[in-house]
Structure 1
């Protein structure tokens, strides 16, 4: 078991090795959870099925959408085209 302060210190050091100084100064990957959040949000916005994203995240679809539905953005036109394509003979 690692203490929280040890974990935080190691994470800060890892960020400084992996990121540019500008990125280190930004909120990018400030916490490990930020990387998970970015990945799941990106997958959902890319159109990956929520069931697949939930399975990869180890969550239920209900938990995934409760947390990440607000991250879905700018997909109305794409979704309308998909619906229209299915309904058009």
Structure 2
């Protein structure tokens, strides 16, 4: 199996878009695939958590997309805070 390890690259496409990306990856490599953003949603459900708060280094608009992605996956987002970083170097 393969996992798309860039969370932002998956969840910014939305729930359906991220599923399309994973299907395309699986088809291209001929094996099952997933993405870390789905892993987060599945882990939250697996441990029985229903409500989360998000603290992200992403810019505001990307943090909002992550919160929307979580909601689409059945996770209640109580709050979301963005550090507003525009690059990985800035977030480090």
> What is the TM-score normalised by the length of structure 2?
0.30
Q: Return the structure number with greater strand share.
A: 2
Which structure exhibits the higher relative contact order, with contacts defined as CA atoms closer than 8 Å and separated by 6 or more residues? 2
> What is the TM-score normalised by the length of structure 1?
0.30
